[in-house]
Amino acid sequence: MTAARPSETHFHVHLDIPGLVDHTAQLDRMEQLMTAANDALVALKAQLADTTSDVLAKLAQLTEQLGEMPEDAAATLAEITDAVSALDATVGDADGSDVPPPVEE
């Protein structure tokens, strides 16, 4: 008589622990909710990064169009630009839009 190879050995264990099935189902549901929440947050981060990039571009365009501004207007514009830049730095480059694609030759 030869012993079975480990790959051919199967063990079936049945544990009847009250509430185990319910707890397992709750853990599965919690994992699904956490994954969905993370996916939503990643999408929001990408949208926010795109928005801050658009706002910074618009502020640069506005600065160029206005040219020389009164000191108080220039200071306000600088404060807005600094605030948006700080937000952009906090969010980071979630969608890769800060790095232009390579130019094909």
Residue 15 included in any domain: no
- Let me know: does 64 contact 93? Beta carbons within 8 Å: no
| CA angle (43 as vertex; 41, 45 as ends), nearest 5 | 70
pLDDT given at position 97: 66
Distance CA 72, CA 78 (A): 10
Is pLDDT at 75 greater than 80 in this prediction?
yes
Residue 10 included in any domain: no
If DSSP states are collapsed to H, E and C, what string results for 24-93? HHHHHHHHHHHHHHHHHHHHHHHHHHHHHHHHHHHHHHHHHHHCCCCHHHHHHHHHHHHHHHHHHHHHCC
Residue 49 included in any domain: yes
pLDDT higher for 16 or 79?
79
**What is the residue range of 66's domain?**
29-91
pLDDT given at position 63: 85
- The count of structural domains within the chain is 1
